[in-house]
Amino acid sequence: MSSSENSQLKISKLLIANRGEIALRIMRSAKEMGIKTVAVFSEADRNALHVRYADEAIFIGPAASNQSYLVGEKIIQACKDTRADAIHPGYGFLSENAGFAQQVADAGLILVGPSPKAMQIMGNKLSAKAAALKYNIPMVPGTEEAITDVAEAKRRAIEVGFPILIKAAAGGGGKGMRIVDGVNDFEEQMQLAVSEATSAFGDGAVFIERYVTSPRHIEIQVLGDEHGNIVHLFERECSVQRRHQKVVEEAPSSVLTPEIREKMGKCAVDVARSVNYTGAGTVEFILDENLDFFFLEMNTRLQVEHPVTELITGIDLVKEQIKIASGEPLSFNQEDLKINGHAVELRVYAEDPNNNFLPDIGTLQTYKTPKGNGVRVDDGFEQGMEIPIYYDPMIAKLITFGKDREEAIQRMIRAIDEYDITGIETTLGFGKFVMQHQAFRSGDFDTHFVGKYFNVESLKNYDETEALIAALVGAKLLKNKNSIEKFDSAVAKTSDWRKNRIKY
């Protein structure tokens, strides 16, 4: 059932088809609206916070997501068993699955999200481009259709001009993506891209774009209702990435002029209008060194980084999603929306930045979150819990807000220092490295930030701390009090890259 079939659809009970921090975040807004909440959980999440927080909880299967969170039939059955009216998919899992969206509609349930048709069109980068071209949205030069013939693809690549980017038409997250600097490497890289896309998405279709050498990743938040109203809520800068996936986000961008912001916002609204979009969505753009922007894709769901938009606009995006799904018109227009202050988000992952950001697992031996003015933590863990191996390794989102960018950054540095996590590696130290780096502070950075600046030299102090930890262990074994006191003094003078792991 879509909300267009009825002008008002009362949602009294909402099932959240997700887990962790996003499930909790959605539940909190729903409860503030007087809506009952239902959690679903796998074997690995029996004791998870979202399960305990919800009004009801339904077990849906083994830990592996393809046997639990990704099984649409189980989600819909859980709705029927609990008599839930609607499903909020969060992000990830089934959130951009057009087939699942259709299943929800066929079951007579409300999906807090766009129509299956809009999801299907925007879920494929080529059909998304075709829809956006109706409104003359700027595009990176390249092909407008999938290419499978290697010889033809090579010819088109030469026409576009190297370096070029081979991209999977389906999916995201950097999978099925290859940068090719010259014609001699093209065939091998295309075959690798097709193979990876087939493996990851079941679809080997790829296309070609000119590679922008110094790109910034800028995205625009949009909201559309069932009454034809669509607005944008300004931009988010998402250029600090590892493996083509975001780690640090902020709003607004430090480089957009009011004129460019207005143009990008209008383009984002037009992209949404091209598919009669309803709900919350994000239109992603690439920005080159000349501040020219080009359409990348549209994400038909709530984004991980939505809190920074909420902080600078004062709009609860989850509540707006639920109202839209209920058939309500937007209660504000574009002229009502203003940027107030600045917000920065760090994704706190259970990853080891010193080892190519490889995921880490273990027990949160210590887990204490920062507090104070302008600090928000969206998380789904508490002290003593295990980080499971089955899902995304994100522990939390740390968000800070200030009257301007400088205050938001300084608050982030303070909050990172206060965040106390032991038992696993995290990206907290990396986050502080970013916040203190001149390129980030000046706003002069792009998506190559990690590759350019985060290297062995940047971890020099980290290595010194490792040596000091070894010295501490030796001192403890010898019960040498003087050595321990010297260690304490030395740690105070070195990087706090691993300060939150030093417990004795």
Residues 223-264 have pLDDT tens digits of 999 999 999 999 999 999 998 899 999 999 999 999 999 999
Q: Does position 344 have pLDDT exceeding 50, yes or no?
A: yes
Residue 493 has pLDDT above 60, yes or no: no
Please report the beta strands in 135-255, taking only residues with DSSP state E, as ranges in sequence order.
164-168, 178-180, 206-210, 216-224, 230-242, 245-251
Is the pLDDT at 502 greater than 60? The verdict is: no
Residue 72: count other Cβ atoms within 10 Å of its Cβ: 21
User: Whole-angstrom Cα distance, residue 355 to residue 138?
Assistant: 38
For residue 484, pLDDT beyond 70: no
pLDDT, residue 7, reads 52
Span of 351-355, 371-375, 401-405 with lowest mean pLDDT = 351-355
Q: Is the pLDDT of residue 315 over 60?
A: yes
Banded model confidence at residue 492, pLDDT cuts 50, 70, 90: very low
Q: What is the pLDDT of residue 382?
A: 96
Which residue, chain included where needed, has tokens 């965040």?
419
Nearest to 344, CA basis, from 380, 305, 381, 318: 305
pLDDT of the residue at 243: 85
Instruction: Please tell me which residue, 215 or 148, carries the higher pLDDT value.
Output: 215
Q: Tokens in use for 192? A: 């690798």
pLDDT of residue 115: 98
What does the alpha-carbon distance between residue 402 and residue 374 come to, in Å, rounded to a whole number? 6
What is the rounded average pLDDT of the residues 194-213? 89
- Residue 481 is predicted with a pLDDT of 45
pLDDT of residue 285: 98
Report the C-alpha gap between 331 and 314 in whole angstroms. 13
Query: How confident is the model over 416-440, as a mean pLDDT?
Result: 98
Per-residue confidence (pLDDT) for residue 332, from 0 to 100: 97
pLDDT band at 498 (very low <50, low <70, confident <90, very high): very low
Report the alpha-carbon angle 399-400-406, nearest 5: 135
Q: Residue 504 pLDDT more than 80? A: no
Please tell me the predicted confidence (pLDDT) of residue 289. Answer: 93
Strands, E assignment, 186-292 = 206-210, 216-224, 230-242, 245-251, 279-287
The per-residue pLDDT for 8 is 63
123 vs 473, which has greater pLDDT? 123
Whether the per-residue pLDDT at 148 is higher than 90: the answer is no
Nearest to 348 by CA among 323, 379, 311: 379
**Does position 208 have pLDDT exceeding 60, yes or no?**
yes
Task: State the pLDDT at residue 360.
Answer: 94
**Residue 379: CB partners within 8 Å, gap ≥ 6?**
21, 24, 348, 369, 395, 396, 397
pLDDT tens-digit profile of 358-375?
A: 999 999 999 999 999 999
Nearest one of 273, 268, 164 to 227, comparing CA atoms: 273
Give the residue from 93, 188, 30, 47 showing the smallest Cα distance to 391. Answer: 93
CA distance 354 to 438: 20
Give the per-residue pLDDT at 205: 86
Question: Which position has the higher pLDDT, 464 or 139?
Answer: 139
Phi, psi angle pair for 143, to nearest 5°? -90, 150
**CA-closest candidate to residue 112, choices 285, 280, 344:** 280
Backbone angles phi, psi at 16, to 5 degrees: -100, 110
Higher pLDDT, 313 or 490: 313
Determine the pLDDT at residue 200.
85
Lowest model confidence (mean pLDDT) among 307-311, 403-407, 486-490: 486-490
Average pLDDT of the chain?
A: 90
Q: Write out pLDDT tens, residues 438-454.
A: 999 999 999 999 999 99
Residue 458 pLDDT level (bands cut at 50, 70, 90):
low
**More confident position, 280 or 496:** 280
Q: In the predicted model, is pLDDT for residue 51 greater than 50? A: yes
Annotated catalytic residues are 301
- Low-confidence winner among 101-105, 294-298, 457-461 (lowest mean pLDDT): 457-461
Q: How confident is the model at residue 385 (pLDDT cuts 50, 70, 90)?
A: very high
pLDDT at 422: 98
User: Would the pLDDT of 86 be above 60?
Assistant: yes
What pLDDT digit, counting tens, does each position of 320-329 carry? 999 999 999 9
Residues near 288 by Cβ (< 8 Å), separated by ≥ 6?
Answer: 212, 214, 215, 216, 294
> Average of pLDDT values for 368-384?
98
